[in-house]
Amino acid sequence: MPTRRSFLASLAATVPLAVFVRRAHAAAVVHLQGDPATLDALALTVLPSRLGRPGIAREAASFRDWAANYKESAELVHGYGTSRLRSTGPTPLTRWTTQLDQLDADAQRLHQHRFRELSAANREQVVRDALKGERLDRMPTVVDANHVAVALLAHFYESPGAADLCYEAQIGRQTCRPLAAQSSKPRPILKVLER
Amino acid sequence: MNRRAIETDVCIVGSGISAAMIAERLARTTSAKILVIEAGDDTVPLAQRPAARERFLRYNENPWGVDHLEGYEVVGPLQSRSMQVGGLAMHWGAVTPRFSPEDFKQHSLYGVGTDWPITYEELDPFYQEAEELMGVAGAQGPDDLDPRGKPFPLPAIPLTYNLELLKKWASSAGIVMWSQPAAKNSIPYRGRPTCCRNDTCSPICPIGAKYSPDFTWNALRKTNRIALTTRMLVRKLVLSPDGKSVSHAIAVNRDRPDEPVELHAKQFVVAAGYTWSSHLLLLSAQDKAPNGVANSSGLVGKYLAGHRNVQTTVELPLKLYPGMNEQHSLVTKQFMRLKSGSEYIRHDLRIWESSSGRTARLIDDAGALMLGDAILDDWRRRTRTGTARVRAYYDVIPDRSSELTLDATRKNAYGDPLPKLAFRDAPESESMRGRTEESIRGLFADMARAGNGRLLRAPTVDNFQDHPSGGCRMGNDASSSVVDSWGRTHDHANLFVVGAPTCVSGSCANATLTFCALALRSARELEKALPRSTTTRSGTVE
Ligand SMILES: Cc1cc2nc3c(=O)[nH]c(=O)nc-3n(C[C@H](O)[C@H](O)[C@H](O)COP(=O)(O)OP(=O)(O)OC[C@H]3O[C@@H](n4cnc5c(N)ncnc54)[C@H](O)[C@@H]3O)c2cc1C
Ligand code: SF4
């Protein structure tokens, strides 16, 4: 069976660019869904432990779903005060899957194990090294995140669940909630979330 | 070439919110045949909006499908590219303050700008009618600042826990604030549910709690009270041989561009918004109207109006919970009324909960990368106190040269020149600009001090003139205005321009409710020339 990289290389040699990009996205989705362990290990490394292991696994799955359903060249919400239309850019997933492969390669090189097999401290070090040279001065939006580790963080931290965890309150941002309840202080979150 | 002709009593160009108001009223009060022509496509059905919203939230995708015409990139600040059934009000935030009484008599009260040919009191019943049609939820402000003939149709959107705290803060700075009126259901209204504060009103409400014009169109179409034709662009209004009225309009069916359509009607209503209304009149230049239809004054496209804003974020020693209802705000009209003898500085003021300056970050104060629990711990520390967004729209008096012209260098698919937009302040506004913005900055600083807070960042000024209007301003004098106070063009007895384009000035508050009230007032005049309805239907059609 060809590796993902050799498969992509053979694709690039034979098909027009737009088709190649579409197929490359599809191949990256298959790759990520087929072997999610590196991403799951990355999520364990960068997301807060207070989510608990099941919570972290859910976040990683939600990120995978985000990435799989990304559409290129989709019209973005219209700008205000301008007639210029904007569309979504090329899929970031091909880059992110390459970076996941790279985390594995770095782990092999430094510790002779795959990334998912490393201790928490070693995993963290591999991620820190990978993020050297990245722009980290602000939390980007998911799609603007260059590195998959930052994308994973951005995906979690822009979620309503993250805000609830931060404020330790059931705010439920951008979810359907009774209007009348907004006059009261949000109720505390159930501690069960914080395992 | 095949030419198709369609006959009707009233032909309405555009299907935005102003068109919806006028069609709804004419459908209710007359038995006239009403044809509505919309250049864009039908809008996304309500059932598909939750999914469209989801993709907007995840990917920032436009939730409204293909709601633009190809090739309409124009020079200048177009408010939005959206063109579809419902117009821009499919995207709107549904914030619906009224203008204040002073807006209609700026010149006689303060010696600046131009008085409108109508007063606030004359517009009050039409404001009420528009509020009832849309379902505006609002709190009565102090009577003298916020006069109204009848109560709001719906109880106010309750203040959030956050806004209650921010209201106390504003009060400590001597500012009386209340719940911003909005066309969002605080209770079920006309078959639409109560707002569930999921906070994406602009650009999309997934449940129909926010009013948008498609609800009116759906109801009118269901009862066969109107015909709405989509994907048809009106290109020209053709005058009768004596030039005193419009004989017909020429339109193009975007799916069959080789078969022009002639639209014959007794009354024509141009309800195409602040850009496309003037644009159509200018495009319609012909022998009897060499500078464009309704343009004997030379003022079609002139006096484009709006308001600029100054805004900032204030850090306050308050524990706030951003995300409770970020699109709802406090408002005051306190600064829309001048103290006698003071300079002409008028603005509104709004306060929102905010997460600005309080989002999670990746590096700590020392510049070190945080991972795992460190990010959450840092975020928790930084959210012990909150921030508020503060914004003031300020009055800009429009100059005659604040204008829409035809751009000979850019054409649409049918060879018609596109519009070009340029907003300019009248000299009195130009000279006051610096002091106005300084005064607002000073107010923000005073407010921050009163709450023992600080400005998180220096206030910024947005150069875009918001809620644009004008281009066919109303007036009693045919040499200094395009339409009369009812929206009837001075030049052509059966041609009305309604809503935004007819405004004399842009006030310093969101303006769409005013456009709607003006459109309903135009309908009141139009119906005099149309057969009365034989069936009495009370209330609005929804
Ligand atoms: C993101 C956003 C948020 C907003 N929020 C608010 C808010 O909270 N409060 C507020 O007061 N305002 C708000 N506004 C502004 C508000 O939406 C507009 O003022 C209002 O919808 C304008 O309505 P209209 O009927 O004047 O014109 P439009 O909505 O522009 O409707 C005109 C229609 O005519 C059609 N048309 C144009 N030319 C032709 C032609 N030649 N032939 C056939 N059809 C034609 C167009 O396709 C369009 O559908 C917002 C706007 C945007 C974009
Ligand atoms: S807050 Fe949500 S439910 Fe309410 S009007 Fe806005 S989008 Fe609709």
Pick the closest to residue B511 from B301, B305, B350 (CA basis). Answer: B305
Residues B287, B239 contacting (CB under 8 angstroms): no
Separation in Å, CA A14 to CA A4, A8, A42, A72, B317: 16, 10, 34, 21, 62
B391-403 CB burial, b ≥16 within 10 A, e <16: bbbbbbbbbeebb
Closest-CA residue in chain B for A178? B196
- Domains present along chain B, CATH in parentheses: 4-529 (3.50.50.60)
Residues B468, B301 contacting (CB under 8 angstroms): no
Residue nearest to atom 26 of ligand 1 (CA): B273
Which residue is listed with tokens 């484009």? B304
| Partner B, chain A 50-79, Cβ-Cβ below 8 Å | 50, 66, 69-71, 74-79
Alpha-carbon distance of B538 to B535, in angstroms, equals: 10
**What's residue A108's pLDDT?**
98
- pLDDT-derived band at A1 (thresholds 50, 70, 90) equals very low
**What's residue B70's pLDDT?**
95
Domain ranges of chain A: 17-71+89-158
B111-140 CB burial, b ≥16 within 10 A, e <16: ebbbbbbbebeebbebbbbbbbbbbbbbbe
Of all residues in chain A, what percent carry a pLDDT higher than 70?
Answer: 87
Our CA-based measurement puts residue A11 at a distance from the nearest CA of chain B, in whole angstroms, of 27
**What's residue A10's pLDDT?**
59
What one-character DSSP code corresponds to residue B103? G
Reported pTM: 0.95
Task: Tell the burial category of B347 from Cβ atoms under 10 Å away from its Cβ (0-12, 13-18, 19+).
Answer: buried
Residue B209 CA to ligand 2 center (angstroms) comes to 6
pLDDT tens digits, one per residue of B460-504:
999 999 999 999 999 999 999 999 999 999 999 999 999 999 999
Residue of B354, B362, B370, B467 best to disrupt the A interface, most CBs of A under 10 A: B362
* pLDDT exceeds cutoff 60 at A104: yes
Q: Is A121 on the interface with B (CB under 8 A)?
A: no
pLDDT tens digits, one per residue of B373-393:
999 999 999 999 999 999 999
Minimal Cβ distance to A179: which of B79, B158, B363:
B158
**What's residue A23's pLDDT?**
82
Please report the atom of ligand 1 found closest to the CA of residue B233: 42
φ/ψ of residue B30, rounded to 5: -130, 170
For range A62-75, the mean pLDDT: 97
Read off the tokens for B426: 């009248």
Our CA-based measurement puts residue B163 at a distance from the nearest CA of chain A, in whole angstroms, of 9
**What's residue B2's pLDDT?**
75
Please report the atom of ligand 1 found closest to the CA of residue B84: 49
* pLDDT exceeds cutoff 90 at A161: yes
**pLDDT beneath 70: ranges in chain B:** 1, 535-542
Q: Please give the distance of CA B30 from its chain centroid, rounded to a whole number.
A: 27
Our CA-based measurement puts residue A77 at a distance from the nearest CA of chain B, in whole angstroms, of 4
- B192, β-bridge pairs: B189
Residue of A124, A182, A183, A189 best to disrupt the B interface, most CBs of B under 10 A: A182
Strand ranges for B335-385 from DSSP E? 349-354
Alpha-carbon distance of B250 to B261, in angstroms, equals: 6
Q: Please give the distance of CA B542 from its chain centroid, rounded to a whole number.
A: 21
* Coil vs helix vs strand at B291: coil
* pLDDT exceeds cutoff 90 at A98: yes
Judged by CB atoms closer than 8 Å, whether chains meet at B321 and A169 is answered as yes
| Partner B, chain A 156-175, Cβ-Cβ below 8 Å | 157, 160, 162-163, 165-169, 171-175
* pLDDT exceeds cutoff 80 at A191: no
Please report the atom of ligand 1 found closest to the CA of residue B519: 25
Question: Which chain A positions have a beta carbon within 8 Å of B369's beta carbon?
Answer: 128, 131, 136
Alpha-carbon distance of B180 to B330, in angstroms, equals: 5
Of all residues in chain B, what percent carry a pLDDT higher than 90?
Answer: 97
Q: Is B321 on the interface with A (CB under 8 A)?
A: yes
Question: Which chain B positions have a beta carbon within 8 Å of A174's beta carbon?
Answer: 57, 198-200, 323
Judged by CB atoms closer than 8 Å, whether chains meet at A183 and B323 is answered as no
pLDDT tens digits, one per residue of A2-53:
445 555 555 556 666 666 677 888 988 888 888 899 999 999 999 999 999 9
Our CA-based measurement puts residue B370 at a distance from the nearest CA of chain A, in whole angstroms, of 9
Strand ranges for B273-416 from DSSP E? 302-316, 330-332, 349-354, 386-395, 403-411
Ligand nearest to the CA of B186: 2
* pLDDT exceeds cutoff 60 at A87: yes
Task: Tell the burial category of A82 from Cβ atoms under 10 Å away from its Cβ (0-12, 13-18, 19+).
Answer: middle
What letter represents residue A153's amino acid?
Answer: L
Please report the atom of ligand 2 found closest to the CA of residue B208: 8
